[in-house]
Amino acid sequence: MSTYLSLKEIWRNKSRFFLFSLVIALIAVLVLFTAGLGEGLASANKEYLEKLDAEILVFQEGTGYSTIESRLDYQKVKRVRRLDGIVDAGPIGFSNAEIVLDEGLDPIDISFVGVEPGKPGLPAPIAGDTLRSNQAKVVMIDQRIAESANINVGDYITIKVTQGTEDKFYDLRVTGITDGQQYFFQPSVFVSLAIWDKYRPKADASVSSSRPVTNIIAVQLEDSANMESMSALIESTVKDVETSDIKTAYESSPGYSAQQNTLNTMKGFTFLIGVLVIGGFFQIQTLQKVPQIGMLKAIGTPNPVVAVSAILQIIFVTVFGVFLGAVAVFGLAIGIPSSVPILFTGTSVLIAIGSLLLIGPIGGMVSIRLALKVEPLTALGM
């Protein structure tokens, strides 16, 4: 009975309900894009760290888990490796560089990452070969670079860095291609730590350490359940270091929290607007229908039928609106250039859609309460 009444009303007022579904669709588009943007920006910031095959990261003490500020002597890597309960540990060095392309093409900004072949921190290739030698002048590149600049395994790329006051150009052969490994909004290029230390940007080109320096150490544990005790062991055994898990590390990236909080606030407000718009629409509609609801109750329609009918109507309109919005978003997403940091992951889309579906019933609660409170006596004008 409830379904019959709600569907009949929607069908006989198609235009009104379709227009309202469009409003919900637009809200859905906004929420899904904001969610996609949040996910995309977060991913661009943390993708490499998130995919690391390690449980603990070791930083220089007092640097607040900043990968850029932290500087660790290579001896510390060795000390960490010697500890019981650790499978392996790999140094990772971060810096920025550019890949110079043919004339007329814009250079590609990259995260220039130094890792030790065979150690934690080096991602597996999806094409070509991994890094095998500390001294070989070869690189593994993020597939985004390969796709955008049409670079293949075996090609040579030219890296431009600034050392001292001079721009230096280094030619490196692409030995492998990795999956998406962005860090600090830039796709990554992986070289051996020795090459990285030699080629990385330096304040003074004449300064060259006899021992490689690294920013952080990625540590693989035998048992990830022992994270706390192992962190404590590392911090007590190796001097002047602090440790964190992966999540803490990328959340400590400069601007990460501020950016995510801003986007979450936007999402929250969009939801709130959605709730208010849906609430307002159905409340006005219910107010207009008070005499009719009174009449329905007067002729013996039970209150649950009236309530369920109202809820179903809200659900139908919301589901249709969210469906339209989702279709529109996925249609638009196909045309979005890869440079726009929007990422639709299954989880984030499902959470956004689930939340959007909830705003209908939440917004409509007031109108349902209103409908339930209508007295059948109103049919008699009492």
Partner 1 sequence: MENKYILETKDVQKIFDSNGLVVKAVDDVNLHVKAGEFVGLVGPSGSGKTTMLAMLATLLRETGGSLLIDGQDLGSMSDNQRTKFRRERIGFTFQSNNLVSYLTALENVELMLRLNKKNKRESREKAAALLTRLGLGDRLNSLPSQLSGGQQQRVAIARSLIHDPSVVLADEPTASLDTERANQVVQIFADLIHEGQRAGIMVTHDLRMCKYVDKVVQMEDGKIARVITERSEIDLLAGTSKFDQLPKEESLEKSEISSKKPLLPNLTPALAGS
Residues that bind partner 1 (CB under 8 A): 1, 4-5, 8-9, 11-13, 291-292, 294-303, 305, 376-377, 379-382
Decide: helix, strand or coil at residue 250.
Answer: helix
- For residues 134 and 301, which CB has a smaller minimum distance to partner 1 in the complex? 301
CB of 281: closest distance to partner 1 in angstroms? 17
- For residues 70 and 313, which CB has a smaller minimum distance to partner 1 in the complex? 313
CB of 126: closest distance to partner 1 in angstroms? 57
Q: Are 83 and 234 spatial neighbours (Cβ–Cβ below 8 Å)? A: yes
Q: How far apart are CA 335 and CA 181, in angstroms?
A: 23
Decide: helix, strand or coil at residue 333.
Answer: helix
CB of 283: closest distance to partner 1 in angstroms? 18
- For residues 8 and 369, which CB has a smaller minimum distance to partner 1 in the complex? 8
- Partners of 140 in the beta sheet? 176, 190
Decide: helix, strand or coil at residue 216.
Answer: strand
CB of 304: closest distance to partner 1 in angstroms? 10
- For residues 266 and 295, which CB has a smaller minimum distance to partner 1 in the complex? 295
CB of 13: closest distance to partner 1 in angstroms? 6
Burial zone of 277 (CB within 10 Å; 0-12 exposed, 13-18 middle, 19+ buried) = middle
Q: Are 251 and 257 spatial neighbours (Cβ–Cβ below 8 Å)? A: yes
CB of 309: closest distance to partner 1 in angstroms? 11
- For residues 5 and 191, which CB has a smaller minimum distance to partner 1 in the complex? 5
Q: Are 192 and 199 spatial neighbours (Cβ–Cβ below 8 Å)? A: no
Q: Are 51 and 122 spatial neighbours (Cβ–Cβ below 8 Å)? A: no
Residue 363 CA neighbour count, 13 Å, CB half: 28
CB of 320: closest distance to partner 1 in angstroms? 17
- For residues 164 and 302, which CB has a smaller minimum distance to partner 1 in the complex? 302
Report in angstroms the alpha-carbon separations of 204 from 27, 110, 162. 53, 21, 9
CB of 5: closest distance to partner 1 in angstroms? 8
- For residues 244 and 309, which CB has a smaller minimum distance to partner 1 in the complex? 309
User: Does an H or E element contain 159, and which?
Assistant: strand 156-163
Burial zone of 150 (CB within 10 Å; 0-12 exposed, 13-18 middle, 19+ buried) = exposed
Q: How far apart are CA 350 and CA 347, in angstroms?
A: 5
Q: Are 294 and 374 spatial neighbours (Cβ–Cβ below 8 Å)? A: yes
Among 76, 93, 68, 91, which residue's Cα sits nearest to residue 240?
Answer: 76
- For residues 226 and 301, which CB has a smaller minimum distance to partner 1 in the complex? 301
- For residues 207 and 382, which CB has a smaller minimum distance to partner 1 in the complex? 382
Strands 56-60 and 241-245: antiparallel
CB of 365: closest distance to partner 1 in angstroms? 23
Q: What are phi and psi of 145, to 5 degrees?
A: -65, -45
